[in-house]
């Protein structure tokens, strides 16, 4: 993973490797500007004396997680054909986890509690018409949060790296093509992207597993819930995913006959078939808001579709993660250095203004501290605790949760899973980075999964490039 570099006046230079950053720090030529993500500031160099290469920030917006990839635009020569290809050299991979669902649930709870409290009071004048009309382009807070957090990190990375262009996925699914796959006259449907929008939609909707046996990490085939032999259509609501064994076993039988001995699964499949894709709707609702916000940066913005992203990923044999999807956005023919680790950025918020905890009826049940710092520490700060003795002896580094007693909890991550050490005295703690509303950890499990997925991803690429007919379409659930 590349280290961001600033000159001694705080202007962005080209990122460097971790080894070079260690050498600069050891020789006293640089200082640590920020710990996570790692940013160093040079003490002996200005931007005028440095050569800058074109860097591009790529985004793969999602409902729960947005992938970000900082890449260097390059051109490589194919050794076999001699053709010059557009390539992207990956410098940093990040995954931004949103908290839109928590915001929605908090607003719902607040509304319900307010209504409950007012129901026990004397008559009050109705207040449902005193909030004015909503402005044009208004988004719900849970949706606006996704746009705001994405833009916050775009501006941060702009301060740390000399970005010259931005690429973003504009639309994940083509709704018209989903409703009517036989639609004609659209140029891209007659090209190499034919069918990719529908496949990606089904993979997201059915959880990338067989609908009949829950098999994962196998080749999945598009299967008709109501068979075509009995009048079934190619609409997305009539399609699901099945492994080869289940698809052949079901054949042209009706789903009621095939699952006659498993009524629970039958009811679930029929219900899920009609259920809209909530995450896709959230992404589609915010796509133009994010695209317009990206244009305010003043940089050239490239917009691409989710079908193009998946085509690039399958063609290049790259496993599926949110960050690698971001690296595959846009028109590229090769990707280098995509095996670098992924930094996960989890939106945690900056605390709550509410100092009173309420019960289910909306009445007070407890009160929080009126101050948000204890002994100079605040919840969300990244600390290093050196405990000399006792059951918790050792060095603990992570996000701290404070208590009025001065006995703190420290949360760290191992293989993407949170690990909490409780009861660490504030006397042993030292702040290494102040809270900024995000939690940070490297998802090592992603790296292991990438190593295991490389040969399967290459097979998926070969299968995807064949692009057979609807009944034989195969997608890799990776």
Residue with tokens 């720090």: 25
**Span of 87-101, 139-153, 162-176, 292-306 with lowest mean pLDDT:** 162-176
Supply the pLDDT for residue 437.
93
C-alpha 254/C-alpha 338 separation (Å) is: 44
Q: Once rounded to an integer, what is the mean pLDDT over residues 55-69?
A: 95
Angstrom distances, CA of residue 241 to CA of 101, 177, 204, 216, 250: 27, 18, 10, 11, 12
**Do 337 and 284 share a domain, yes or no?**
yes
Query: For residue 324, is pLDDT > 80?
Result: yes
Nearest Cα to 145, choosing from 262, 293, 29, 263? Answer: 293
The rounded mean pLDDT for the chain is: 83
220-263 confidence digits (pLDDT tens): 999 999 998 888 888 878 899 999 999 999 988 989 999 999 99
Query: For residue 451, is pLDDT > 70?
Result: no
For the chain, how many structural domains are there in total?
3
Banded model confidence at residue 277, pLDDT cuts 50, 70, 90: low
In a domain, 145, yes or no: yes
C-alpha 473/C-alpha 255 separation (Å) is: 20
Query: For residue 134, is pLDDT > 60?
Result: yes
**Do 178 and 34 share a domain, yes or no?**
no
**Do 294 and 398 share a domain, yes or no?**
no
Which residues, listed in sequence order, are joined to residue 303 by a DSSP beta bridge?
Answer: 168
Supply the pLDDT for residue 125.
67
Query: For residue 110, is pLDDT > 60?
Result: yes
**Do 330 and 465 share a domain, yes or no?**
yes
Residue with tokens 């050569």: 51
Supply the pLDDT for residue 449.
53
Instruction: Write the CATH number for 200.
Output: 3.30.420.40
**Do 46 and 69 share a domain, yes or no?**
no
**What is the number of other CB atoms lying within 10 angstroms of the CB of residue 388?**
7
Give the burial string for 11-41 (b: 16+ CB within 10 Å, else e). Answer: ebbbbbeeeebeebeeeeebeeeeebbbbbb
In a domain, 417, yes or no: yes
Q: Once rounded to an integer, what is the mean pLDDT over residues 211-223?
A: 90
In a domain, 258, yes or no: no
**Do 92 and 155 share a domain, yes or no?**
yes
Q: Once rounded to an integer, what is the mean pLDDT over residues 333-352?
A: 92
Supply the pLDDT for residue 417.
82
Q: Once rounded to an integer, what is the mean pLDDT over residues 451-476?
A: 38
Instruction: Write the CATH number for 403.
Output: 2.30.30
Domain that holds residue 30: 1-51
**Span of 3-17, 70-84, 184-198 with lowest mean pLDDT:** 184-198
Banded model confidence at residue 189, pLDDT cuts 50, 70, 90: very low
In a domain, 426, yes or no: yes
Q: Which two tokens stand for residue 256?
A: 């009621």
**Do 294 and 199 share a domain, yes or no?**
yes
**Do 403 and 301 share a domain, yes or no?**
no
What's the first-to-final CA gap in the chain, in angstroms? 23
Banded model confidence at residue 188, pLDDT cuts 50, 70, 90: very low
In a domain, 212, yes or no: no
Query: For residue 369, is pLDDT > 80?
Result: yes
In a domain, 120, yes or no: no
C-alpha 116/C-alpha 126 separation (Å) is: 15
Query: For residue 182, is pLDDT > 50?
Result: no
| Burial category of 62 from C-beta neighbours within 10 Å (exposed 0-12, middle 13-18, buried 19 and up) | buried
Q: What is the dihedral of CA 331, 333, 337, 343, to 10 degrees?
A: 30
């Amino acid at each position: 993973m590349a280290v961001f570099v600033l000159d001694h006046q705080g202007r962005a230079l080209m990122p460097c490797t971790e080894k070079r950053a260690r050498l600069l720090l050891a020789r006293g030529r640089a200082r640590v500007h920020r710990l996570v993500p790692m940013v160093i500031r040079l003490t002996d160099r200005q931007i005028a004396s440095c050569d800058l290469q074109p860097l591009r920030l790529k985004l793969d917006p999602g409902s729960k997680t947005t992938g970000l990839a900082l890449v260097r635009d390059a051109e490589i020569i194919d050794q076999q054909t001699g053709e010059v290809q557009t390539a992207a050299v990956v410098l940093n991979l990040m995954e931004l986890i949103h908290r839109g669902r928590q915001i929605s649930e908090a607003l719902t709870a607040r509304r319900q509690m307010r209504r409950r409290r007012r129901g026990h009071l004397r008559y009050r004048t109705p207040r449902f018409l005193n909030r004015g009309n909503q402005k044009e382009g208004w988004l719900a807070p849970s949706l606006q949060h996704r746009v705001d957090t994405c833009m916050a990190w775009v501006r941060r990375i702009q301060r740390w790296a000399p970005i010259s262009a931005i690429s973003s996925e504009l639309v994940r699914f083509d709704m018209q093509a989903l409703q009517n796959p036989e639609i004609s006259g659209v140029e891209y449907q007659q090209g190499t992207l034919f069918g990719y929008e529908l496949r990606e939609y089904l993979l997201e909707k059915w959880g990338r597993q067989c609908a009949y046996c829950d098999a994962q990490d196998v080749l999945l085939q598009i299967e008709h819930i109501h068979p075509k032999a009995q009048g079934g259509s190619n609409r997305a609501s009539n399609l699901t995913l099945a492994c080869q064994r289940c698809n052949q076993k079901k054949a042209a039988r009706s789903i009621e006959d095939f699952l006659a001995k498993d009524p629970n699964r039958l009811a679930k499949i029929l219900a899920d078939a009609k259920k809209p894709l909530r995450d896709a709707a959230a992404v589609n609702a915010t796509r133009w808001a994010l695209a317009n916000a990206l244009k305010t940066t003043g940089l050239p913005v490239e917009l691409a579709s989710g079908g193009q992203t998946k085509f690039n990923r399958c063609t290049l044999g790259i496993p599926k993660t949110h960050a690698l999807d971001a690296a595959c956005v846009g028109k590229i023919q090769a990707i280098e250095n995509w095996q670098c680790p992924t930094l996960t950025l989890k939106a945690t918020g900056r605390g709550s203004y509410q100092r009173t905890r309420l019960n289910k009826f909306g009445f007070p049940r407890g009160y929080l501290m009126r101050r948000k710092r204890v002994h100079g520490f605040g919840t969300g700060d990244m600390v290093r605790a050196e405990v000399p003795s006792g059951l918790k002896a050792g060095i603990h580094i992570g996000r701290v949760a404070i208590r009025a007693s001065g006995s703190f909890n420290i949360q760290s991550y191992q293989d993407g899973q949170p690990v909490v050490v409780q009861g660490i005295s504030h006397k042993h703690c030292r702040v290494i980075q102040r809270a900024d509303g995000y939690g940070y950890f490297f998802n090592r499990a992603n790296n292991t999964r990438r190593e295991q997925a490389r040969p399967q991803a290459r097979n998926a690429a070969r299968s995807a490039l064949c692009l057979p007919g609807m009944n034989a379409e195969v997608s890799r659930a990776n």
